[in-house]
Amino acid sequence: MNLLEINDLTSGYEGVQILWGVNLSLEKGKLTTLVGSNGVGKTTLLSTVMGLLRPWQGTVNFEGKDVTNLPAHARAKAGMVLVPEGRQLFTEMTVLENLEMGAFSPRARVSFKQNLDKVFELFPRLKERAKQKAGTLSGGEQQMVAVSRGLMAEPEILFLDELSLGLSPLLALTLFESLTRLKKTGLTMLLVEQNVSMALAVSDYAYVLAEGRVHLEGPARDLLKNDEVRRTYLGI
């Protein structure tokens, strides 16, 4: 069953069209990766799917319901949660307050305690940093807060935009390991990642976005063997 269906989505900024009819669907419980060079519209796609950006045409269906015209906060309430590019933490608030804000929607509030334990188990370092202002943490720790804040929202589907950007390879690896652990809990995820080889290695399915359209799609394992993908995105 498909949790999310994106149909023929077009969108852009102030008269500049970025997306030219994107079709994409996410299967429940699967980890999907969206690959593409800089500027092909990956972040635009996520913004449109989340309702931060108004689509020009096309629809977004979540759990069988049309959410195309819902505002971002209503989508978050329904279980669509984005961990945005560049972390976008509440830098002036403590780590714990950031996590509380993640659990703002009534659905997430009920299970705040359990989710907090889960998140601290996933990233033990955050427990030590709970009372610290989020803006004072290192880049890697901030990314952990960003992912944790997203998890606190009790997502049905988690979008992760450029998770490893600006992180050391070791930290990136740690975060990818946490993704595989999350996958085992049955969480549906869409990963947008410039570290293509790492992303494809942990994913079930993948889409390649080029010039505002889905250019290629298939099981991640197959794409790893695809000549064009290897040449363009893996540099092999």
Partner 1 sequence: MQLISSLTDGLLLGFVYGVAAMGLTLIWGVMTVINLAHGPVIALGMFGTYLFFTHLGLNPYLALAPVALFGLLLGFIIYGMAVHRVINAPHLSSLLATFAVNMIIIGLGTAIFSTSPQNIDYSLGSMQIGFLTIPFSRLLATLGAVLFTAALYLFLYFTRPGKAIRAVANNRRAAELMGIPSSQVLALSFGLGTMLAAVAGGLIATFFPFTILSGGPYELKSFVICVLGGLGNPLGALLGGLILGGLEGLIPTFMPVSWVPVVEFGLFVLVLLVKPSGLLGAK
Contacting positions for partner 1 (CB under 8 A): 50, 52, 71-74, 76-77, 81-82, 84, 88-93, 97, 100-102, 104-105, 108, 149, 153
All residues at 6 or more sequence positions from 154 whose CB lies less than 8 Å from its CB, including other chains: 79, 103, 105, 107, 108, 111, 115
Report CA torsion sign: 198, 203, 206, 211: negative
State the nearest-atom distance from the C-beta of 158 to partner 1, in Å.
12
Rounded Cα–Cα distance for residues 137 and 21 (Å) = 39
C-alpha neighbours within 13 Å on the C-beta side of residue 67: 26
- CB-nearer residue toward partner 1: 91 or 232: 91
- With CA atoms as reference, report the closest residue to 143 among 104, 114, 173, 187: 173
Q: Which is nearer to partner 1, 76 or 223 (CB)?
A: 76
C-beta closer to partner 1: residue 150 or 208 = 150
Minimum distance, C-beta of residue 85 to partner 1, in the bound complex (Å): 11
> Which pair of structure tokens corresponds to residue 90?
């509440």
Decide whether 54 or 73 has the Cβ nearer to partner 1.
73
Contact (Cβ atoms closer than 8 angstroms) between residue 105 and residue 153 = yes
Burial class for 169, CB neighbours closer than 10 Å (0-12, 13-18, 19+): exposed
| Choice between 3 and 153, CB closer to partner 1 | 153
Min CB(200)–partner 1 separation in Å: 26
Minimum distance, C-beta of residue 150 to partner 1, in the bound complex (Å): 8
Smallest separation (angstroms) from partner 1 to the CB of 53: 11
Length of the chain: 236
